[in-house]
Amino acid sequence: MWQRIISIIVKEFIQLSRDRRTMAMIVVIPIIQMSIFGYALSTDIKDVSLVVWDASNTPESRELTESFRQTEFFSVNFYAADYDDIAQRIESGDAKAVLVIPPEYSHHLHRGETAPVQFFTDGSEPTAGIQALANASLIVQAKGAELMAKDQLSNLALPISLQPRIWYNPAMQSSIFYLPGLVGLILQMLTVMLTAFAIVRERENGTIEQLNVTPLRRGELIVGKLIPYIIIAYVQVILILTTAVLIFSMPIRGNLLLLLSLTSLFLMFSLGIGLFISTISRTQFQAMQASVLVLLPSILLSGFIFPVESMPKLAQWVSAILPLTYYLRIVRGIVVKGIGIEYLWQDTVILAAMGVFTLIIAASRVRKSLA
Burial of 151 (0-12, 13-18, 19+ CB in 10 A): exposed
Question: Taking 90 as the threshold, does the pLDDT of residue 326 lie above it?
Answer: yes
Question: Rounded to an integer, what is the distance from CA 305 to the centroid of its chain?
Answer: 7
Residues 346, 366: one domain?
yes
Residue 188: other Cβ atoms inside 10 A: 27
Tens-digit pLDDT profile for residues 143-176: 888 877 775 545 556 788 888 888 887 777 777 7
347: pLDDT confidence band, cut at 50, 70 and 90? Answer: very high
Query: CB neighbours of 359 closer than 8 A, spacing ≥ 6?
Result: 268, 269, 271, 272, 275
Residues 162, 195: one domain?
no
How high is the pLDDT of residue 19? 64
How high is the pLDDT of residue 126? 79
Rounded to 10 degrees, the C-alpha dihedral 252/258/259/262 comes to -170
How high is the pLDDT of residue 12? 58
Do the strands 48-54 and 74-79 form a parallel or antiparallel pair, or are they unpaired? parallel
Tens-digit pLDDT profile for residues 256-273: 899 989 998 998 898 888
Alpha-carbon distance of 267 to 236, in angstroms, equals 12
Residues 254, 105: one domain?
no
Domain boundary among 109, 138, 167: 167
Residues 343, 243: one domain?
yes
Continuous H helices in 70-173:
83-92, 105-110, 126-149
Residues 143, 262: one domain?
no
Q: Model pTM?
A: 0.76
How high is the pLDDT of residue 35? 60
Helix (H, G, I), strand (E, B) or coil at 100: strand
Burial of 41 (0-12, 13-18, 19+ CB in 10 A): middle
How high is the pLDDT of residue 15? 64
43: pLDDT confidence band, cut at 50, 70 and 90? Answer: low
For the packed helices 83-92 and 341-370, what is the interaxial angle rounded to 10 degrees? 20
Domain boundary among 126, 151, 167: 167
Residue 147's domain spans which residues? 48-167
Identify whether 308 is part of a domain: yes
Alpha-carbon distance of 224 to 203, in angstroms, equals 17
Residues 105, 234: one domain?
no
Residues 235, 99: one domain?
no
Alpha-carbon distance of 62 to 54, in angstroms, equals 8
Q: Identify the DSSP state of 334.
A: I
Helix (H, G, I), strand (E, B) or coil at 237: helix
CA angle, 164 then 142 then 80, to 5°: 45
Domain boundary among 122, 138, 167: 167
Tens-digit pLDDT profile for residues 187-217: 888 888 888 877 777 676 666 555 555 565 6
350: pLDDT confidence band, cut at 50, 70 and 90? Answer: very high
Nearest to 223 by CA among 31, 359, 42: 359
Identify whether 14 is part of a domain: no
